[in-house]
Amino acid sequence: MKYIILDLEASCWEPRDPSKKNEIIEIGALCINENKIIESEFCAFVKPKLDTQLSPFCIKLTTITQEQVDAAETFPEVLKKFRNWIGTEDYLLCSWGHYDRVQLKNDCELHELETSWLEKHISLKHQYTGIKGLKKHTGMAGALWMEKIELEGTHHRGIDDARNIAKIFLQHFGKWDTVRK
């Protein structure tokens, strides 16, 4: 089993604009094997299709620049590379919440791409609540604090958040229910 620790960044606005659709602008992921070894990383920016201009709020939140997404490949191109990186072996997508799976599904549907590969997914955030016996869900930064793990990199950057989520995943390796979707 390969565990794909995944975090996405998407276009966003403040205040939220219901007339606009979020689109993935960064995919960050780590591949962890059954021996708890990080085998590789994947990081790519994505050029949005519908609203090509990032909002000032999005740029400030993610530190992703307009130039980076302008120079990026389209979602279908990046997704093909991402799925090739994952491979056809037994894998499980793991993200901090269901948002990442839902956003991947939305972007796949926007580009008329199949989504069955997303069925192998678990929310580490929801399981962490049970593992720690918490009354409510906590964000990734809060979980790192509870684990006494320093947040490294830039929060709200896909690859940095994936690296930090991987630390929490490894801290509780063997406790995750890998059968859930």
Query: 21 with 49: CB under 8 angstroms?
Result: no
Q: At what angle do helices 75-86 and 99-110 cross, to 10 degrees?
A: 130
**Which member of 14, 150, 156, 172 is catalytic?**
156
Tell me, rounded to whole angstroms, the distance of Cα 172 from its chain centroid: 19
**Which member of 9, 23, 26, 121 is catalytic?**
9
Whether residue 121 lies in the annotated active site: no
Whether residue 156 lies in the annotated active site: yes
What is the distance between the alpha carbons of residues 168 and 112, in angstroms, rounded to a whole number?
Answer: 34
Closest CA to 23 of 15, 13, 35: 13
Enzyme catalytic residues: 9, 156
